[in-house]
Amino acid sequence: MIISKNFQSKNLRLIYLLTMIACIGVLLGRGWQHIFWDPPYRTLLWDENLFKPVIEKVFGIPWEKYVTSIRIDHNFQTSFKIIGFLLVLGIFFTFFLNRIKRVAENYLLICTGWLFILSIIYWKEYFWDFPQFAELCSQWMAPAIFVGLNRSHERNIDMIKILKITLALTFFGHGLYALGLVPIPGQWIDMVINALNISETNSKYFLKAVGVLDIIASVLVFFPKFRKYGYWYMAIWGACAAIGRLVGTYYSEIGFFNFLHQQAGECLYRIPQFLLPIVALLILKELKIFKAQQASISTQTNFQ
């Protein structure tokens, strides 16, 4: 691993390391999904209103044949796997970001763009419910944040603004789902029931309580006196939510390794939602130290 020259203090190195792990988690998790499972591209590719004119007039293929062709579907599957390997390849560039800086930065920004497109497709799949797009913000932004922090730690004041907005959107989206303002995903209820061994009714009450806290945290980060409490909550609950994808969905009947194969990716690409709040806290600490040093220098200059 090549550590940037911009990250020489212990605190800054930790910021770099945690952001890199968040980036790797997303790339590996989404790559895993593309290679072994089924990303939601068919929601777009099989949209008759969008693609039927293109498929029939440009390619000359009847729509019914297009959506039922085994060969075409196989080509789609192969394309999804290639995208997955390209996302996993991004991990290489995270390790050598400063050895091949321009190429690595551009590649990771392309990965950010593709993850953004994937988020839009998920948004479409969920009937354009805003919380679905909002809760994915920390995932598709993770590679871009890693690149931004690596370029110069002097721009941390700008990065904290980006982190603040990214995390606020993520947890605001979580909160809206948990409160039931849009339909609560059934999988969330099942995970809480399995993880906490409680009834479905109590599971819904629990999620509503979490939803309130999510919304409060997403607001707190915009107030300097209270933002650290918002980030701490995000880090703790974000970790619980990611681990819950393993604890709350485990069934011994399918075997441990089969279970990991199915659920590890979902845990991995949620790593940013608890590591990025920690990064935000560390940046705030670093900015506080920097301001204290600047004040000290200013005081010494005035005495001279």
pLDDT of residue 266: 92
> Residue 280: which domain range?
10-291
Contact 196, 203 (CB under 8 A): yes
Residue 296 within a domain: no
Residue 297 within a domain: no
Q: Compute the Cα dihedral for 255, 258, 263, 267 and give only its sign.
A: positive
- pLDDT digit string (tens) for 33-75? 999 999 999 999 999 999 999 999 999 999 999 999 999 999 9
pLDDT band of 299, cuts 50, 70, 90: low
Contact 237, 197 (CB under 8 A): no
- pLDDT digit string (tens) for 276-295? 999 999 999 888 876 776 66
Average pLDDT estimate for 133-138: 96
pLDDT of residue 289: 74
The rounded percent of the chain whose pLDDT value lies above 70 is: 90
pTM: 0.91
Average pLDDT estimate for 99-116: 96
Residue 137 within a domain: yes
Calculate the CA 274 to chain-centre distance. 10
Residue 142 within a domain: yes
Burial class of residue 277, CB neighbours in 10 A (0-12, 13-18, 19+): buried
pLDDT of residue 70: 95
pLDDT at 209 over 60: yes
Q: Measure the CA angle with vertex 35, ends 30 and 41; round to 5°.
A: 70
- pLDDT digit string (tens) for 145-155? 999 988 765 55
Residue 89 within a domain: yes
pLDDT of residue 256: 86
pLDDT of residue 288: 80
Write the CB contacts of 65 (distance below 8 Å, at least 6 apart in sequence): none
CA nearest neighbour of 46 among 23, 73, 24, 26: 73
Residue 1 within a domain: no
The total of structural domains in the chain comes to 1
Residue 304 within a domain: no
Residue 179 within a domain: yes
Average pLDDT estimate for 226-234: 97
